[in-house]
Amino acid sequence: MSAPADTIVAVATAPGLGGIGIVRVSGPATRTIATAVLGELPEPGRALSRRFRGADGTALDAGIAIFYAAPRSFTGEDVLELQGHGGPVVLDLLVARCLGLGARPARAGEFTERAFLNDKLDLTQAEAIADLISAGSATAARAALRSLDGEFSERIERLSRELVDLRVQVEAAIDFAEEDLELLDGAGVAAGIERLRGDFAALERATEQGRILHEGSVVVLAGRPNAGKSSLLNALAGHEAAIVTPVPGTTRDVLRERIDLDGLPVTLLDTAGLRESPDVVEAEGIRRARREIDRADLVLYVVDSTDAEALGGLAADLGSLADDVPAAVVLSKVDLRDGAPPDTGGTALHVSALTGAGLDALRARIKASAGYRPVDAGTFSARRRHLEALRHGTAHVEAARGALVARHGAELVAEELRLANEALGEITGRVTSEDLLGRIFSSFCIGK
């Protein structure tokens, strides 16, 4: 896969008004564009204060220009950054000027894709850039930075080297066929496969935690009207994100709020109360609520602990949820309840949004449901595709072990080890396809 030969341009800062806006250019025409816009080619790596000129010589903006000469740039190509004022009209004028000088609009993530194609970073590091930008907590941001620094890649490469070393031993048996069984019967190969099994399992556990940090958890607050869902959302969020009134049906649409639970990014969804309603607007809100319930990572089914009718109908209400929806019962308003708590089988969480009682236990349940554990200093950012590739690699290592035990021959053992190594290569991009790259980089920002 060769690096592109054309030049790209895009706005590299977020849309909207801002004090500073950056236009980024990368490719072989960058020097020509820099000279035309600035009147000279800046010295590489040095900031130059200049007016940015249009085709007729008039000033489009004034700011800082920095030129990075290949290969010492983010993309590995000649790169120009024009740092001007952050107005959309000004930035559009600068992009149009660069387009007129031979550049084309960059696709989403194309600058990072070029960095990958030019061996400036591997695929896990490229994905870590997007993860860092979209991090939902400080913990997730630190994990993404560790991936960007290459910690995840290094663990993959160490495991890959183990596979290669073991393949060398196994393939020696193929080269010396008369000693095939003797070599395979030796303790070295069997011990090597056992080490690989343990190392794959350890990396899979770490990758799962990295995936949870990257994806976070989606938690839906569901229940009957006036169950206390919005009050609970506000208590978990730490501010008044939702409107709370005594009027049933106040929440008509899905309200989303991002929170940080000890580093775990959680998206809380407050939904319309579940009931039959002739009101068209409320009915649409209930339909949306059920849609979010069906795809939630966890449903907190909130029940007013002072409402005897709601408590009596709890079993039927839970039975209306899909069988594969993970749900936890939350008995709300416990500060208003008199007498003994209702019997719900001992699994319900007793919570007061007003006093804060039970909120710590509720937070712990959310984290446990996500499979989240305390993050150590070595946690890195990861994605679902990384986990799937590791599981494929583990399956091939298990197949190699099975072939060894069944004495099926060195060729089969070596082939399974080769396939396990290929699975690791899919993670870093050592083994990849244009289709995979397209899916990954299309999720990036334009200009990154």
448 residues of the chain, pLDDT tens digit each: 455 689 999 999 988 888 999 999 999 999 999 999 999 999 999 999 999 999 999 999 999 999 999 999 999 999 999 999 999 999 999 999 999 999 999 998 899 999 999 999 999 999 999 899 888 888 899 999 999 999 999 999 999 999 998 988 888 767 665 555 555 555 688 889 999 999 999 999 999 999 998 889 999 999 998 898 889 999 998 888 666 666 565 566 788 899 999 889 999 999 888 888 777 887 888 889 889 999 999 999 999 998 888 888 888 888 888 888 899 999 999 888 876 666 666 688 999 999 999 999 999 999 999 998 877 667 899 999 999 999 999 999 999 999 888 877 788 988 999 999 999 999 998 876 676 677 777 777 777 7
CB 403 within 8 A of CB 413: yes
CB 232 within 8 A of CB 315: no
pLDDT at 186: 57
pLDDT at 3: 56
Q: How far is CA 33 from CA 46, 56, 423, in A?
A: 17, 14, 42
State the Cα–Cα distance between residues 334 and 51, nearest whole angstrom.
Answer: 66
State the Cα–Cα distance between residues 173 and 182, nearest whole angstrom.
Answer: 8
β-partners of residue 266 are: 217, 259
Task: Describe the crossing of helices 138-148 and 187-215 by its angle, rounded to 10 degrees.
Answer: 140
State the Cα–Cα distance between residues 336 and 305, nearest whole angstrom.
Answer: 8
pLDDT at 246: 64
Instruction: Please confirm whether the linkage preceding 71 is cis (ω < 30° from 0).
Output: yes
β-partners of residue 81 are: 24, 66
Contacts of 150 (CB under 8 A, 6+ apart): 122, 125
Contacts of 309 (CB under 8 A, 6+ apart): none
Question: Phi and psi of 68, rounded to 5°?
Answer: -120, 120
β-partners of residue 61 are: 52
pLDDT at 17: 86
10 Å Cβ neighbour count for 311? 16
pLDDT at 5: 81
Find tokens 């993530």 and name the residue: 109
Query: What SS3 state is found at 416?
Result: helix
Structure tokens at 448: 């990154």
Q: What is the pairing mode between strands 8-11 and 18-26?
A: antiparallel
Contacts of 33 (CB under 8 A, 6+ apart): 7, 9, 25, 80, 98, 101, 102, 103
pLDDT at 201: 95
Q: What is the pairing mode between strands 327-332 and 298-304?
A: parallel
363-375: pLDDT as tens digits: 999 999 999 887 7
CATH 3.30.1360.120 correct for 8-121: yes
Structure tokens at 314: 């709890």
Find tokens 């554990």 and name the residue: 373
State the Cα–Cα distance between residues 448 and 328, nearest whole angstrom.
Answer: 40
Question: Phi and psi of 99, rounded to 5°?
Answer: -60, -40
User: Hey, where are the domains in the chain?
Assistant: 8-121, 123-311+357-429
CATH 1.20.120.430 correct for 123-311+357-429: yes
Alpha-helical (H) ranges within 320-380 are 359-370
